[in-house]
A = this chain, B = another copy of it.
């Protein structure tokens, strides 16, 4: 089958590579960066210099997969495609959109007869080799048309269709929220062991836990690799942890739906704290302790 690919960065480029390498599907590939298009052509894709050319090279009903940064770029790309595509075509957002945006977009595209599907992807840089775990949402007919592509992108039996537009990114959002909680659980454990009186080698703990313990997991395998590479003290790293948005969205949804997510909250706030967010609150605490007296407060040094 044919598919258009918009966005040939690390993720999109690898996906095109995997499709061309492992199947007979035809990919028409576009990216504002001409080098990325050339690379895709090198893997066997048909390059396009513009969105218009990409659309013109595809037979209806067209399937166009977006792998572009979430937010404004995704919005504007969808707006342009909405003008170029025809009824029966499908836009697939393979990026990291909020599922509420998916629902809005599907509704906005409906009057034009254009379908909207969303695919959440987990697997990172290993996807090229082992395949991407894919969570899909959208109309049945769009997903049916997309299935051969998902079959080649995913490992065996490695994708699922979870419902109408938005369902894919919803499950992916929850996946990431669970990931936050698992990572924080390990981090608290390794922290306590590192501060303890015992001379514990954390790479040994992570490795051992992966051989038969209840907490064995891929993240624990990564932890073993990390301690091997970075050493027991992780001296080369700063304790500064970004968040990519999905954890916040999941907390918001939990609040909206009255589902308590305290482990996720702990995990997200731990990342905020790692970035010194909350420092002003701490100064308020110091100021109050200063007021009721008897407590030493650290003043900023005079210079």
| Interface positions of A (Cβ within 8 A of B) | 10-11, 122-127, 130-133, 135, 137, 154-160, 162-164, 166-167, 170-171, 174-175, 177-196, 198-200, 204-205, 208-209, 211-220, 222-223, 225-227, 230, 234-242, 244, 248, 250-275, 277-300
Q: Are B133 and A188 in contact (CB under 8 A)?
A: no
CB neighbours (8 Å) of A280 from chain B are 190-191, 194-195, 234, 239
Q: Are B241 and A300 in contact (CB under 8 A)?
A: no
CB neighbours (8 Å) of A240 from chain B are 282, 286, 298
Q: Are A181 and B182 in contact (CB under 8 A)?
A: yes
CB neighbours (8 Å) of A195 from chain B are 257, 259, 280
Q: Are B190 and A154 in contact (CB under 8 A)?
A: no
Q: Are A219 and B217 in contact (CB under 8 A)?
A: yes
Cβ-neighbour of A185 out of B182, B214, B227 (below 8 A)? B182
CB neighbours (8 Å) of A196 from chain B are 170, 257
Nearest B residue (CB) for A157: B211
With the chains together, A299 CA to B269 CA distance in Å? 22
Nearest B residue (CB) for A154: B212
With the chains together, A230 CA to B265 CA distance in Å? 28
Shortest CB-to-CB span from A79 to chain B, Å, is 23
Contact (A237, B300) CB under 8 Å given A184-B263, A254-B188, A284-B187: yes
Cβ-neighbour of A270 out of B159, B242, B262 (below 8 A)? B262
Nearest B residue (CB) for A168: B198
Q: Are A222 and B291 in contact (CB under 8 A)?
A: yes
Q: Are B219 and A215 in contact (CB under 8 A)?
A: yes
Q: Are A262 and B262 in contact (CB under 8 A)?
A: yes
Shortest CB-to-CB span from A135 to chain B, Å, is 7
